[in-house]
Structure 1
Amino acid sequence: MSDASPRILVPAGESMTFRNTVAYAVREARSVAEETGEQATVHFVYPARWQLIDQEEPSAARAEELLDRARVWAETDLDYDEDGRPDEDVPVLVETAVVGQDRYLFSPGDFADVLVEYAHENGLDRVIVDPEYQPGGSAPMLQPFETELARTDLAVEEAPVERRTRRGRLLARASLSKAAATFGAAYVFYLLVGGTFASFDLLTGALTAALAALFFSRVALVESPTLRKTPVRLARACLYVPYLLWEIAKANLSVAYLILHPSLPIDPGMSRFRAAVSGDLPVTTLANSITLTPGTLTVDVGRDGLLVHSLDAGSRDDLAEGALERAVRFLFYGRGAARIPTPTERGSIADEDERGESSD
């Protein structure tokens, strides 16, 4: 397929070069349309890391604001040609969209898949990528993301825009909070595992934590910790951990009853659970919390939700009531986020048959 197509998709994300990428995509669409006589179309598409139930989440508002800016920039660039003269002979259709709210997006392949599906649905066959676009937030995922896109039938290119020169120290100022948080977490974990506070352990722990902060702080945390959010989240964690321990204790008693009952009334089954949490850490917390609770086991986490094995109907009922889900939402999003319909009421949980297909 020829790269020269006026039907262009641009993944949208905050960056210093996104404005220039918008201008380049619009110019390219208009230029090719002039030569081919086709309709020039540019779609700015934002892959979401939140769920449909969280339309009020700040990330959703920021995404809509970014897409609005992209539309304004595109329409501004369409007013004049490269020589500064009005250019109304070659109209360019500009569209914006948010995709992926019905999935869990983790890997570069997940982000690429939702964009490719959107491109096919809307007849787009060319992708122009901002050279500083990061689908996973601040984690460096651009190269594998482009590799995944290149495996499809879409023509993929990076916008040839100038990047701002990066100067300064090895750790940028914006990354210091991530480095400090990574260092602290790694240091505490090292000392807890070691079980001693001897001078040698303190020294080697500090060295190990420093190396972890240096090499992994950018990928360990998607967002930089802040003095406003982090203490509040830690306070919520102090409430969440006892609650989780209480749920584990109740589940242990339930499993003990099943084991000791003469007829062993177990009824194992698999459920597909599309929880109302998103992002690596919240989803991982929920998946591990389900696994830690006897009677349920998170078998897999994919784009279509969590695949959970349950030991009996009671365990499935507890999962469908969404108590753990609401607790995890409280932990990461606050008290207001915990007041949501249950998975059953939302229709976001279903039994799986033996072939792994959802059954009504």
Structure 2
Amino acid sequence: MQDPSPDSTDSPDSPDGAAWAREVARRFDLGRPAGPAVVAARGQQGVVRSLVTDRGRFAVKVLLEPLDEAEAAADAAFCARMADRGVLAPRPVRTTDGAVIGAVGEARVRVATWVDLDGPRTDLDPVALGTLFGTLHRDPVPTTATVDPWYTEPVPAHAWDDLATELARARCPFAGALAADVPRHVALAALFRAPVDPQVCHSDLWADNVRGTPSGRLAVVDWDNSGPAEALGEVCVGLVEYCRRGDARHPDADDRVRAFLRAYRAAGGPAVPRERADFTMVLAQFGHFAHLAGRRWLAATTDAQRQAASDWFHEEHDDPVDVATLDRLLIAARSV
């Protein structure tokens, strides 16, 4: 990354500048910055910057997607509650007037304490993972809100067909792969069922957000999607993301499934999958991920944006989940 120009450094609207960092620190009462806020990670919903001040290091997330204050306050409260329960997580920091989201120049940001993270991995210790998931799910935080259709409803067949046609017309490099994948997504959608006993969940426990740390503990980050979901569905996310393959300590993937679920139950986790429909949350998200990746490719205006959309599509396409995958995980789960 090149050093920012003097103009950008002095601009209060540029996240690369020292003036912007000072305004973040003032808005959230973080102390005196040691320099600009440096990009640390990029995600689908925001760019996380590291800001060091005389009071410590903070994670400053510049939001890329709309998020209202009420939603942000709810997920911040859930994060804090889980941190009090013993989950290692960045604690939300509020603005000087008590808000979770603050306007800094042209950006909308939120701030949390910093946690040092290892890179994303799917071969994390299954016992530690099961214990973490069980801790998140025990003593449920109740909710009467409706579960977002992102986790419960399939992409309609006509929407897949329309997208495939548009991508082919635009000469998208993954147009053929998406079109070939449509029958699998449509067939899996026949398994979906409505959620049972929703509770407040993190709702995004993929490997980008469940990380090892230098201390050896697992940390959970990016709580922006917290909300009503089915604990059982989130357990299935854990099985698909972390237990489909063996590792050095558990060469048999089924051993990972059993280790994960036994630790989950021992930590107070209430839900173990017993049928294909229990994977609705996983399958719905994979369908929406692929569909949204195609839509983002069509909307992209730069090669970098198109490449990011293509990479996102291929994450699941190149490592697909099918009925055989579900059945293998269920056989192992039923032995717990």
Higher helix share: 1
TM > 0.5: no
Give me the TM-score of the superposition, normalised by structure 1: 0.28
Larger radius of gyration: 1
